[in-house]
Amino acid sequence: MQSEQTRQDKCCGGLLAPDAQQALATLRLGIPRQVLCGPQLFAVCALDLDSGQERFYQRFYINTDRLEFDRYLLSLVPSSVDYREGIRCREIAREAAGFRLRLSSVDGKRAWNERARIVIGCDGAGSVVRRTLFSSVPRPRSYTAVQEWFETKSESSPYYGAIFSQQTTDFYGWTIPKERQLIIGAALTPGDRVMERFRSLVDRLRARGLRLGRMVRRHAAPVLRPGSLREICLGGDGAALVGEAAGFISPSSAEGVSFALLSARALAQAMTAGERGWLERYRVLTLTLRLKIVLKGLKAPVIYHPLLRSLIMRSGLSSLPISE
């Protein structure tokens, strides 16, 4: 385990939801033990800070160390792939026979150009490939996700907390136990006072009795929330997008791992069938992913409407009776 300061993991909750578990299964993958992070979670606790209601629902998540999960996926990359770490793509431009990429070391000390015939942007929510090559395609709404990791004295409650608060965001916040630490996170509506709203969320959780020790880590990243299929961009003219760069992420829960895995597989299948017509094949192979985004988008107005959510929570429908 690296020290808190040197850990280079992605800003992510590291939960593998049932959709991600299914995606791994279809890729013939399991999860090695070193990727797991305790406790494993069998319930979500929905906490509505506006109405003060709290309900537990049965859900099955695999709790992982996201850094270890990424390392595991990288270990599967075949040796025929020239994989390099610590490099940023700063600029990308179309040329007559493909693309010119301006690359640099992460610290910016070294910079050079590379040429490519085909470019695949799997560079996440802030994708430079999408921003540069597909700037005319409408982008999904971008939220600022902030996560703080706190030490906890005892083992934290073994559930995934989903927190709703109009004052914080029109999306949601979360708590995730990680061994002897607890993540508090939120996808905050961009705009003013992002950190102030986050701090106020943490303070209100503390005021409700959540016992937190020292804060050991904070990180932030954009997270996308697609609002329509027009915002999903698969690419074109020799450049493709996969995962969140394409806009593939659940608009109701921000679950993105299953979409990243399955869109990458779809593109691999589309491209290995031949260079001609890959975009059309990719479109067909991602039909179910796009349908899923529509279905999850239909769910969102119910979950995120304060009155409807309050009525559902008050009814106790499908909730678990939890012992004190």
Ligand X SMILES: Cc1cc2nc3c(=O)[nH]c(=O)nc-3n(C[C@H](O)[C@H](O)[C@H](O)COP(=O)(O)OP(=O)(O)OC[C@H]3O[C@@H](n4cnc5c(N)ncnc54)[C@H](O)[C@@H]3O)c2cc1C
14 binds ligand X per the rule CB under 6 A: yes
> Cα separation of 215 and 149, whole Å?
6
Residue 126 vs 301, nearer CB to ligand X: 126
Taking the complex as a whole, the smallest distance from the CB of residue 285 to ligand X amounts, in Å, to: 17
- Which of the stretches 25-33, 200-208, 253-261, 280-288 binds ligand X when contact is defined by CB under 6 A? 253-261
Residue 260 vs 266, nearer CB to ligand X: 260
Torsions phi, psi of 216, nearest 5?
-105, -20
Q: Would you say 198 and 28 are in contact if contact means Cβ atoms under 8 Å apart? A: no
Please give the size of the binding site for ligand X, defined by CB under 6 A: 28
Taking the complex as a whole, the smallest distance from the CB of residue 163 to ligand X amounts, in Å, to: 14
140 binds ligand X per the rule CB under 6 A: no
Task: Kindly tell me which residue out of 223, 240, 262, 313 binds ligand X, with binding defined by CB under 6 A.
Answer: 223
Residues 6+ apart with CB under 8 A from 3: none
> Cα separation of 249 and 226, whole Å?
7
Taking the complex as a whole, the smallest distance from the CB of residue 317 to ligand X amounts, in Å, to: 25
Task: Kindly tell me which residue out of 35, 49, 201, 260 binds ligand X, with binding defined by CB under 6 A.
Answer: 260
**Residue 65: HSE in the Cβ half-sphere, 13 Å Cα cutoff:** 18
122 binds ligand X per the rule CB under 6 A: yes
Q: What is the DSSP letter of 36?
A: B
- Which of the stretches 22-30, 207-215, 243-251, 292-300 binds ligand X when contact is defined by CB under 6 A? 243-251
- Which of the stretches 43-51, 118-126, 197-205, 310-318 binds ligand X when contact is defined by CB under 6 A? 118-126
> Cα separation of 93 and 102, whole Å?
9
Beta-bridged to residue 92, according to DSSP, are 101
Residue whose pair of structure tokens reads 């804060």 in the numeric block: 215
- Bond preceding residue 39 cis, omega within 30 of 0: yes
Beta-bridged to residue 298, according to DSSP, are none
Task: Kindly tell me which residue out of 198, 244, 278, 290 binds ligand X, with binding defined by CB under 6 A.
Answer: 244
- Which of the stretches 50-58, 117-125, 279-287, 294-302 binds ligand X when contact is defined by CB under 6 A? 117-125
- Which of the stretches 51-59, 250-258, 278-286, 313-321 binds ligand X when contact is defined by CB under 6 A? 250-258
- Which of the stretches 43-51, 244-252, 282-290, 310-318 binds ligand X when contact is defined by CB under 6 A? 244-252
Nearest to 161 by CA among 13, 314, 297: 13
Binding map of ligand X across residues 63-92, x = CB under 6 A, - = no contact: -------------------------xx---
At position 157, the amino acid (one-letter code) is: S
Taking the complex as a whole, the smallest distance from the CB of residue 221 to ligand X amounts, in Å, to: 4
Task: Kindly tell me which residue out of 23, 44, 49, 249 binds ligand X, with binding defined by CB under 6 A.
Answer: 249
Binding map of ligand X across residues 180-199, x = CB under 6 A, - = no contact: -----x--------------
Residue 51 vs 137, nearer CB to ligand X: 137
**Burial level of 201, CB count in 10 A (0-12/13-18/19+)?**
buried
Q: Would you say 318 and 57 are in contact if contact means Cβ atoms under 8 Å apart? A: yes
Nearest to 106 by CA among 4, 8, 218, 239: 8
> Cα separation of 52 and 236, whole Å?
48
Tokens of 12: 């992510």
Tokens of 80: 């025929």
Binding site for ligand X (CB under 6 A): 10-15, 17, 20, 88-89, 122-124, 128, 145, 147, 185, 221, 223, 243-245, 249, 254-257, 260
